[in-house]
Amino acid sequence: MARDVGVELTWMFEPGPGMDLDEDDVRIRPNPKGSKPRTKRRPTHENALMGMVTEVHLARYRVLTDDGREVLATLAKELRNKGCVTCDRVALAGEVSDEKGALARIVRIEPRSSELTRSSDESDVGDQTIVANADQLAIVMAAANPEPKPRLVDRYLVAAMHAGLRPILIMTKCDLADPKDFVSGFEGFDLKVFRHSKESPNLSELKELLAGHTTVFVGHSGVGKTSLINLLAPDYVRATGEVNEVTGKGKHTSSSAKAIPVPGGWIVDTPGVRTFGLKGIDAIGLLKGFADLDSASADCPRDCSHLADAPDCELDVLVAAKKLSASRLDSFRRLVLAIGSID
């Protein structure tokens, strides 16, 4: 008789007298209460169709496949704790179709070459990844209406340096005010600056810089970021809003990051933000975001904090000699105090 192995054993037929039965004549029924899979090995999906995430909305992902189809997908169960963002390279399985009602599964997320992250403010516990695999960051500021924010630009520059992205400063609405004084505050950076206005809407130089790259457009609401993108990619027009005349603030029109193709590259329109937290960046990385201060700090004493109470700080000496911008040093120190002291 077969041994008891924790499953129900029954004869395939009722044995008669004189019949010689063995284990081949036993039908083994699996335990109906068992729920464990037969194996922990998961399929590798080596031949899965590859694509890039162009937009994320709630738990649905719009993916442009390598063969040119735009499909809607959801994350496979084993990836739900990892998350997926715009410009991620992913592998698709299941119902990979651009027909209405079809829903594919994202079964693999390829390693990222870069991550642009932010926190809502310095009190946030974790960071939020906005875009993956970008190589340029276009910081859009208005010369007026609303007024440009130099310290917000500083935060964008630090985030760009931390993520390994090339920063670009784009000044819009230059027909309303001259941004010369504002731009002069960033002379210490290796920063390409573009000026745009309704009177001179030529974007050929900017288009050349965007070709061959994935560029993330960031800026607070009302600076004309989405309007500029609509000019760069007229086939993908997004909604725009007006600046409130009372508060001087713009209205949020983009609710999610969306990758938009341009000749030879991609641009990513992101929702306008009024704050850009740097919780995940330490002060060493913060100082590298200020190229002029970083190079000047080489002559500071060892373990110098570069704060206002730091003894013999070379940065204060250079500011007194008018060789460094006092506003730049003040901006750096304000950010250090916001994210914590230097180690």
CA–CA distance, 201 with 254 (Å, rounded to integer) = 23
Give the residue with greater pLDDT, 243 vs 84: 84
Of the candidates 47, 49, 96, 54, which has an alpha carbon nearest to the alpha carbon of residue 73? Answer: 96
Question: Same domain for 200 and 185?
Answer: yes
Q: What is the pLDDT of residues 210-228, one digit of tens each?
A: 999 999 999 988 898 888 9
For residue 307 the two structure tokens come to 């704060």
Length of the chain: 343
Do the domain assignments include residue 85?
Answer: yes
- 254 and 128 inside one domain: yes
**Residue 105 and residue 120 share a domain:** no
Give the pLDDT confidence of 133-181 residue by residue, as tens digits.
Answer: 999 999 999 999 889 988 888 888 888 888 889 999 999 999 999 999 9
Residue 20 lies in a domain: no
Q: Looking at the structure, do residues 125 and 202 belong to the same domain, yes or no?
A: yes
Q: Shortest CA distance to 141 belongs to which of 129, 157, 119?
A: 157
Q: Supply the mean pLDDT for the chain.
A: 82
pTM: 0.75
Whether residue 136 is found in the same domain as residue 197: yes
Q: Which two tokens stand for residue 1?
A: 């008789």
Residues 121 and 161 in one domain: yes
27 is a domain residue? no
Same domain, 261 and 143: yes
- What is the reported pLDDT for 121? 58
Residue 30 to residue 170: CA distance in whole angstroms: 67
Pairing relationship of beta strands 115-118 and 60-65 according to DSSP bridges? unpaired
Percent of the chain's residues with pLDDT above 90:
38
| Rounded CA separation 310/121 (Å) | 26
Instruction: State the Cα–Cα distance between residues 174 and 159, nearest whole angstrom.
Output: 26
Per the domain annotation, does 176 fall within a domain? yes
Q: Do 289 and 148 have their domain in common?
A: no
Q: How far apart are CA 170 and CA 329, in angstroms?
A: 23
CA-to-CA distance for 130 and 272, rounded, in angstroms?
A: 12
Q: What's the rounded mean pLDDT across residues 305-313?
A: 89
**129: its two tokens:** 């990844």
Whether 19 is covered by a domain: the verdict is no
Q: Which two tokens stand for residue 174?
A: 């230059």
Identify the pLDDT of residue 11. 52
Secondary structure in 3-state letters for the chain: CCCCCCCEEEECCCCCCCCCCCHHHEEEECCCCCCCCCCCCCCCCCCCEEEEEEEEECCEEEEEECCCCEEEEEECHHHCCCCCCECCEEEEEECCCCCCCCCEEEEEECCCCCEEEEECCCCCCCCEEEEECCCEEEEEEECCCCCCCHHHHHHHHHHHHHHCCEEEEEEECCCCCCCHHHHHCCCCCCCEEEECCCCCCCCHHHHHHHCCCEEEEECCCCCCHHHHHHHHCCCCCCCCCCCCCCCCCCCCCCCCCEEEEECCEEEEECCCCCCCECCCCCHHHHHHCCHHHHHHHHHCCCCCCCCCCCCCCHHHHHHHCCCCCHHHHHHHHHHHHHHCCCC
Residues 247 and 185 in one domain: yes
More confident residue, 46 or 4: 46
In a shared domain, residues 125 and 254 = yes
Residues 43-65 pLDDT 10s: 778 889 999 999 998 889 999 99
CATH number for position 78: 2.40.50.140
To the nearest 10°, the Cα dihedral for 67, 50, 255, 83?
170
Residue 28 lies in a domain: no
Structurally, the chain folds into a number of domains equal to 3
Mean per-residue pLDDT, 334-338:
73
- Specify whether 121 is located in the same domain as 240: yes
248: confidence class by pLDDT, cuts 50, 70, 90:
very low
Q: Domain range for residue 123?
A: 115-269
The CATH number that applies at residue 202 is: 3.40.50.300
| Listed residues 80, 109, 138: the one ending a domain | 109
> Do 85 and 131 form a contact (C-beta atoms < 8 A)?
yes
Q: How far apart are CA 130 and CA 84, in angstroms?
A: 10
Whole-angstrom distance, CA of residue 13 vs CA of residue 34: 26
Tell me which of 75, 94, 109 is where a domain ends.
Answer: 109
Could you tell me if 165 and 239 lie in one domain?
yes
Residue 18 lies in a domain: no
